[in-house]
Amino acid sequence: MAKIVDADSHIFEQPGMWRDYMPASQRHLALEIEEDELGFSWLTHRDKRLLQCYISQPGEWWESYGGPHQRQRAGEPAQTRYQDMPATYRDPVARRDALAGWGLDQQVIFPNWGLNFGFYLQGDAESERANIGSWNRWAAEISNVGAGRLLPAGHLTLRAEPDWISEQLNGMAAAGIRQVFLPIGLIDGKRLSHPDFEHVWAQMVDLALVPTFHIGAFAERTIADGYHDGDIIQYMTLQSLVMNGLEAQIALCDLVTNGLFDRHPKLNWVIAEYSVGWIPEFRFKLDMGYDVHYKVVGAHNVTLANKPSTYLDEHIRFVSFANERPDKVMDRSADNIMFGSDYPHAEGLLNPLEDYREKAGDLGDRGPAFYGGTLTKALDSAAGARSLARQ
């Protein structure tokens, strides 16, 4: 019987986490969560406020986001304090013990504020690396506490020396971490398929790690900063919400058409929270654009061994929200889509599996793969590739 695996959930970092999991020599670089005089908490760095830290309630957008932001701007006291969040939001032991009651065998765990601090620390590579290292040490502890049931994603930046990147990846693999969250977009002007990053993908294959995109606020935006100018909150802009999925399409076009998966045929990739409704049209555009470009130019930038959409179907796994009707998307694309509750975010689900099934409807024979088999296969395939390489 296939495992039931929630491919997208989050754990809320607590005050002191980055400092506590950071070497003493770097603690002056640590992020912090601090409460103001009205009871609102803020993510801070070197005493500078970066963003307001809310406590989300699954299914409650206004109560989670809009209401607290509005009250803070009006100078009204907080109605809920960050420290009062449920234990399952912040405590790996409580989360692990809740899985059985939710009907889950395993749950992937992403950072919360770790998804967004890259935008605010841009230009300060030393602080970015130090705080990423803290998350990875905590993720190793989550993995240990989870005893195979919690699957924390590691965190990586490519704005770093190869030795630092290699050290982080080796540490993740040693801790049993399987997925690696990394920012989407250009790295100092270089695409992810650039030759300078070949050593990263080769090491990920060697260590059975699966690179993963998750929506967040990153140092270099795919949608240029000018389009976000004047937005009230820079880590959750109107453009990013309206155009959700665009960043993933641009990155995937690069990875596929520049031959990354021909060079690394054992590499799998996961895309989380970038929606899935665009996938059928994107498959068509990949194949059409690759063909038309050849007819216009008379040569391929990179000659692929297969149609571009084949790599999308065979190497990429997408996490779907329940209300996207994933069955309808798969009818027009491929069975490479999977379940993720986004617990405990406001756009997520309070009872991950039960609420998801109610919203998504009956998936029939696709159910076992969708609710865990697809992700398990991707992770096991990566592990199998590593085993074969070492024989």
Return the residue matching tokens 């002056």. Answer: 28
pLDDT at 235: 85
pLDDT number for residue 389:
52
Q: Report which of 290, 271, 268, 267 is spatially closest to residue 279, judged by C-alpha positions.
A: 271
Mean per-residue pLDDT, 151-162: 97
pLDDT score at 386: 57
The H or E element containing residue 147 is none
* 271 three-state secondary structure: strand
Q: Are 364 and 191 in contact (CB under 8 A)?
A: no
CB 359 within 8 A of CB 323: yes
What are the φ and ψ backbone dihedral angles of 286, each rounded to 5 degrees? -60, -50
Predicted model pTM: 0.95
d(CA 270, CA 180): 9
pLDDT at residue 2 in the model: 80
The token pair at 164 is 């630092």
- Whole-angstrom Cα distance, residue 338 to residue 323? 13
Which residues have CB under 8 Å from 60's CB, separation 6+? 346
Cβ neighbours of residue 391 closer than 8 Å, sequence gap 6 or more:
none
Longest CA span, the chain? 65
CATH number at residue 68: 3.20.20.140
Structure tokens at 10: 């989050």
Closest to 141 measured CA to CA, from 208, 98, 96: 96
pLDDT of residue 384: 63
Cis, bond preceding 344 (omega within 30 deg of 0): yes
Query: Which one, of 193, 149, 152, lies nearest residue 171 by Cα?
Result: 152
pLDDT at 382: 73
Q: Are 277 and 332 in contact (CB under 8 A)?
A: no
Find the mean pLDDT for residues 80-97.
97
Q: How far apart are CA 122 and CA 132, in angstroms?
A: 13
Q: Which one, of 272, 275, 253, 256, lies nearest residue 264 by Cα?
A: 256
Residue pair 92/146 in contact (Cβ under 8 Å)? The answer is yes
- Burial label for 46, CB within 10 Å (0-12, 13-18, 19+), is exposed
Confidence at residue 288, expressed as pLDDT on a 0 to 100 scale = 98
Asked if 44 and 2 touch (Cβ cutoff 8 Å), the reply is: no
The β-bridge relationship of strands 337-339 and 31-35 is: unpaired
Task: Report pLDDT digits (tens) over 255-309.
Answer: 999 999 999 999 999 999 999 999 999 999 999 999 999 999 999 999 999 999 9
Q: 260 is written with which tokens? A: 């990354």
Reported as a single tens digit per residue, the pLDDT across 210-226 is 999 999 999 888 989 99
d(CA 25, CA 12): 25
Domain that holds residue 331: 5-390
Amino acid symbol at 110: F
Average pLDDT for 89-105: 98
Band (236; pLDDT cuts 50, 70, 90): confident
Is 76 in a helix, a strand, or coil?
coil
**Number of independent structural domains in the chain:** 1
Give the per-residue pLDDT at 391. 45
> Residue 275: which region, alpha, beta or left (left: phi > 0; alpha: psi -120 to 50)?
left
